[in-house]
Amino acid sequence: MIRTVVCEKEGCSGNTFFIETDNNNLKLTCKNCGSQYEVDISYYDFIMLSNCSKCNNDTFKIFRDLDKEGVYVKCAECGSTPEKVYIDSDGIQVSYDIKLLSDIKEVMYLIEQRVCNLEMRLQDLERGQSTIEESLAYVNKYLIDKV
């Protein structure tokens, strides 16, 4: 079940927040009254920045999945997700595009390795076949000599 996060301060019930990533936590600040909340987001492999990725607005609606651990952040204006920064395998902050590119490179490398392995096996097979052909030729010759 997914619930909209609402400010818990009495008489406020604001549902738009400013966000700020602080280590493994997402800090929420109620736009109405300034109350602050923290949500653990250590399971994400990216850092959310404080502005919308599409319209640059800085207030968000927050949704929590009560069944499984999860928090969803959507721009209060346009519904997009906040700008994200990813951490690459070297621990360096990169943009989503660069992260995607390096993921693709990794996959390409794996594919290349597999193709290389396949080629080697194919060569082995070819070598095996020519050995069989040679043996057959030898057997043929032997039979012909005997007859």
Binding positions for Zn ion, rule: CB under 5 A: 7, 9, 12, 14, 30, 32-33, 35, 52, 54-55, 57, 75, 77-78, 80
Type and span of the H or E element at 139:
helix 96-146
Which C-beta is closer to Zn ion: that of 33 or that of 115?
33
CB of 54 or CB of 102, closer to Zn ion: 54
Taking the least distance from each CB to Zn ion, the nearer of 20 and 77 is 77
- Whichever of 72 and 102 has its CB closer to Zn ion, that residue is 72
User: Min. distance of Cβ 24 from Zn ion in angstroms?
Assistant: 24
Burial string for 121-132 (b: 16+ CB within 10 Å, else e) reads eeeeeeeeeeee
Query: What is the rounded CA–CA span in Å between residue 13 and residue 102?
Result: 42
Q: Which residue lies nearer to Zn ion by CB, 54 or 85? A: 54
3-state secondary structure 54-95: CCCCCCEEEEEECCCCCEEEEECCCCCCEEEEEECCCCCEEE
The least distance separating Zn ion from the CB of residue 69, rounded to whole angstroms, comes to: 24
The CB-of-120 to Zn ion minimum distance in angstroms stands at: 52
Give least dist CB 100 to Zn ion, A: 21
Query: 60-65 and 25-30: which strand pairing?
Result: unpaired
Q: How far is the CB of 126 from Zn ion (least distance, A)?
A: 59
Mapped onto helix, strand or coil, the DSSP state of residue 22 is strand
